Amino acid sequence: MSVYHMVWIKFHDGVSDERISEHLENLRSMPEKIDNIWDVRVGPNFTDRARGFTHGLIVTVGNREALTEYLEHPHHVAIATPLKADAELMAMDFETESYADDDAVDDDDYDGDSDDNLDDADA
């Protein structure tokens, strides 16, 4: 089982590019200080489908308890507090079965081309 904490970020007008870069680097640094984070992905939006949100963050942890620990961790709070002052945030948390837990999926057969798994509809 994997738990994903997904955050949409819309920086307020007037927040400098330097300040935005600082926020993004702080987000990327979280695994160095918060042990139960499995993975962090953060980057700019490149489409017009995000209703003005400019960046996205996905944090992966092992379970709901680990999510609570991450959200309450002092390092997360220290990063999130100034981010909330500089941006509008929207968050969602969800669980999925991990491919590693699924005997039906053989990682050796996966070629890394995610386009093979998409149809013509936008997700």
Domain ranges within the chain, ordered by starting residue: 2-98
The CATH architecture annotation of domain 2-98 reads 2-Layer Sandwich (3.30)
pLDDT confidence tier of residue 119, bands split at 50, 70 and 90? very low
Calculate the alpha carbon distances from 50 to 8, 60, 90, 102 in Å: 8, 21, 11, 32
Q: Which residues of 6-42 are buried (b: 16+ CB within 10 A; e: fewer)?
A: ebbbebeeeeeeeebeebbebbeebeeebeebeebeb
Distance CA 29, CA 118 (A): 32
Distance CA 34, CA 74 (A): 9
Q: Specify whether the backbone of 112 is left (phi greater than 0), alpha (psi in -120 to 50) or beta.
A: left
35-44 pLDDT tens trace: 999 999 999 9
43-90 pLDDT tens trace: 999 999 999 999 999 999 999 999 999 999 999 999 999 999 999 999
